């Protein structure tokens, strides 16, 4: 039995360390990129202002050639006013939820996106269209312009409070299947970790020896995964900032904040493994001391 223990403990411990490391980062992906709530939070808090500014600037550039710089800026500002923060939050939630529901349904080929049309949004939309109509309506009398504006306002007021944008025959089956495989892979990793832990326990038989081996495996895996997360958090933002062609509205601090948020769950999981490992190691030594104390008392 001793020979078997010596032969099989190192490979089993190695695979358990590797397995726990993979679990940390697969769980991190499930808590961030695979989690619609995380993506929604990032878009709303960090990237919505940048997206709004970038969208307004691009619209302004396109309209400048047609309306002139002053009129284009007026229309661009009206469009920005139409995209209120509340409308953006609701729309972002609906779109992200709809996309993730679709991606997590491998049999589905229809994507449904619910777009709200609040009173504030309709008011901003009327202003934006009105600004554009007024700028483009050259040669019309003031009365004709007013009639046109009233017709526009009436059409906007008749819009429903929300509408569903349905995209049919959308083929993202490779992504859907990849997500399904990813979810199965995570379940397999957890099952494999349990199996390896059970094999190590059976191989060592004694509680103090088994807990010590499991403690060292947990500690080593936690230390490696924590080191990787901290190094990537420090180095990756600079690499992206230098190598990627980012829009002017997205700065280094936003990229660094996103990477920190992406790796935050991995840091937490790594610390949990470290604490678990230290606890098991300390327990193994304390159990040994208690066992000795109990033997000494019986002898006395």
Q: pLDDT tens across 222-238, in order?
A: 999 999 999 988 887 76
Mean pLDDT of 87-106: 82
Contacts 24+ apart (CB under 8 A), 163-169: 163/114, 163/115, 163/117, 164/112, 164/113, 164/114, 164/115, 165/112, 165/113, 165/114, 165/115, 166/110, 166/111, 166/112, 166/113, 167/110, 167/111, 167/112, 167/113, 168/109, 168/110, 169/109, 169/110
Residue with tokens 């004694």: 206
Write the Ramachandran bin of 233: left for phi over 0, alpha for psi from -120 to 50, otherwise beta.
alpha
The answer to whether the beta carbons of residues 172 and 103 sit under 8 Å apart is yes
Tell me phi and psi for residue 167, to 5 degrees: -110, 110
What pLDDT score was predicted for residue 247?
Answer: 56
Query: Any idea which residue has 């939070």 for tokens?
Result: 41
Q: What is the pTM of this model?
A: 0.73
Cα–Cα distance, 230 to 264 (Å, whole number)? 10
Residue 299 has a pLDDT of 45
Tens digits of per-residue pLDDT, 258-300? 888 999 999 999 999 999 999 999 988 887 545 454 444 444 4
Q: H or E stretch including 92?
A: helix 85-103
Sign of CA dihedral 179, 185, 189, 195: positive
In the DSSP assignment, the letter for residue 111 is E
What pLDDT score was predicted for residue 295? Answer: 47
Spatial CB neighbours of 224, under 8 Å, sequence gap ≥ 6: 17, 21
Selection from 94, 117, 90, 113 nearest residue 168 by Cα: 113
Q: What is the mean pLDDT of the chain?
A: 79
**Can you read off the two tokens belonging to residue 158?**
């008749």
* 58 confidence band (pLDDT: 50, 70, 90): low
Q: CB of 25 within 8 A of CB of 32?
A: no
Q: How far is CA 293 from CA 10, 191, 280, 281, 300, in A?
A: 31, 38, 20, 19, 11
Q: Which of 78-82, 99-103, 122-126, 184-188 has the highest mean pLDDT?
A: 184-188
Beta bridge partners of 234: none
In sequence order, the β-bridge partners of residue 280 are: none
Give residue limits of the domains in the chain: 2-31+181-299, 36-171
C-beta of residue 278 within 8 angstroms of C-beta of residue 215: yes
**3-state class (DSSP) for residue 160:** coil
Map residue 163 onto helix, strand or coil.
strand
Q: Give 99's pLDDT tier (boundaries 50, 70, 90).
A: confident
Pick from 88, 22, 28: which is nearest to 53 by CA? 88
């Amino acid at each position: 039995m001793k020979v078997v223990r010596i032969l099989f403990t190192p490979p089993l411990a190695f695979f358990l360390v590797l397995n726990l490391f993979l679990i940390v980062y697969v769980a991190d992906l499930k808590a961030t990129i695979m989690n619609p709530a995380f993506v929604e939070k990032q878009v709303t808090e960090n990237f919505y202002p940048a997206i709004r500014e970038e969208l307004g600037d691009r619209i302004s550039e396109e309209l400048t050639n047609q309306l002139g710089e002053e009129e284009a800026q007026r229309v661009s500002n009206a469009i920005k006013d139409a995209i209120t923060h509340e409308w953006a939050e609701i729309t972002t939630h609906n779109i992200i939820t709809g996309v993730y529901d679709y991606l997590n349904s491998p049999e589905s080929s229809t994507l449904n996106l619910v777009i709200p049309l609040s009173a504030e949004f309709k008011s901003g939309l009327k202003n934006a269209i009105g600004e554009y109509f007024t700028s483009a309506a050259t040669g019309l009398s003031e009365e004709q312009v007013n009639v046109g504006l009233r017709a526009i306002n009436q059409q906007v007021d008749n819009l429903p409070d929300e509408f569903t944008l349905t995209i049919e025959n959308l083929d993202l089956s490779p992504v859907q299947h990849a997500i399904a495989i990813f979810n199965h892979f995570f379940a397999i990793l957890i099952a494999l970790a349990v199996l390896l832990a059970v094999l190590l326990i059976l191989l060592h038989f004694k509680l103090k020896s088994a807990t010590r081996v499991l403690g060292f495996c947990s500690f080593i895996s936690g230390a490696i995964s924590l080191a990787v997360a901290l190094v990537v958090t420090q180095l990756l933002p600079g690499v992206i900032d230098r190598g990627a062609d980012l829009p002017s509205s997205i700065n280094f601090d936003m990229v660094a904040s996103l990477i920190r948020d992406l790796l935050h769950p991995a840091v937490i999981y790594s610390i949990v493994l470290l604490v678990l490992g230290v606890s098991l190691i300390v327990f193994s030594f304390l159990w040994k001391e208690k066992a000795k104390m109990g033997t000494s008392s019986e002898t006395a």
